[in-house]
Amino acid sequence: QVQLVESGGGLVQPGGSLTLSCTVSGLTLDYYAMGWFRQAPGKEREGISCINSSGDSPDYVDAVKGRFTISRDNAQNTVYLQMNSLKPEDTAVYYCVADVISDSCSGYEWLAHSDAWGQGTQVTVSS
């Protein structure tokens, strides 16, 4: 059984930083792409970042590019999302997702159909 558990969310002031972690069990992470999505209140869930199995080809949507960094430690079966220069509009529940079919990022619409999701962690950016 595949399980993904996010941690690291919380309340942070605008301009601050947080690092989210996603620890995976029941799956050998070496072979699969991983991604992060978020869902703000009243909005649809959106993909924001993806990383291929080897970790050398990260992808970001424009809204977070230059501020967020995705990385992974396959030995620890963990994926990270370093978030800097946080803005109030980054407030959302953040979810990690595993692409249990592909080792490369195939787009967020594809990734959204995965069955392997974490339970989410709340990030609130407010003064």
Can you give the pLDDT at residue 38? Answer: 98
Mean confidence (pLDDT) of the chain: 96
Residue-wise pLDDT tens digits, 39-85: 999 999 999 999 999 999 999 999 999 999 999 999 999 999 999 99
Q: How confident is the model at residue 86 (pLDDT cuts 50, 70, 90)?
A: very high
User: Which of the four pLDDT bands, split at 50, 70 and 90, describes residue 105?
Assistant: very high
Q: What average pLDDT does range 101-110 have in this prediction?
A: 92
**DSSP for the chain?**
--EEEEE--EEE-TT--EEEEEEEESS-GGG--EEEEEE-TTS--EEEEEE-TTSS-EEE-TTTTTTEEEEEEGGGTEEEEEE-S--GGG-EEEEEEE-SS-SS---HHHHTT-SEEB--EEEEE--
Note the pLDDT of residue 73: 96
